Amino acid sequence: MEQGFTKLCAMSALKEGVGASFEVDLHNIAVFLVEGMVYAVSNVCPHQHIPLISEGNLENHVVTCPMHGWQYDIKTGKGVHGAGSIKSYETCIEDATLYVKIEEAQNQDLW
């Protein structure tokens, strides 16, 4: 595996369509399993810096922050509704274990 990936969890710990959150090296990461694909983005909403993205409602790859409704595309972290975007992390699955790339997160300038 490439350098920079950190183990997050067993794939069996993830449930289809339900977010999960993890803390790794000061990164608070929200993970979503959708149709067999895993997406990892920042768990922290840039609106009021509240770490609840993993608990947001998910529909068509768009997660809605449960606090005030800002929305993000979990494939890219880009904002769909609201004034911000969130970091997107590269993921890798090996031996039924999920890894996420911490060092070179995309959208590094964003939350």
Residues 6+ apart with CB under 8 A from 2: 92, 101
Can you say whether the dihedral through the CA atoms of 15, 19, 20, 22 is positive or negative?
Answer: positive
Burial of residue 45 (CB within 10 Å: 0-12, 13-18, 19+) is: buried
Site string for ligand FES, 2-41 (x = CB under 6 A): ----------------------------------------
Residue 38 or 65: the one with the smaller Cβ distance to ligand FES is 65
Site string for ligand FES, 50-69 (x = CB under 6 A): x--------------x-xxx
By CB under 6 A, how many residues form the interface with ligand FES?
9
Options 6, 27, 47, 91; binder of ligand FES; rule CB under 6 A:
47
- Local structure of 12: helix, strand or coil: helix
Chain residues that interact with ligand FES, rule: CB under 6 A: 45, 47-48, 50, 65, 67-70
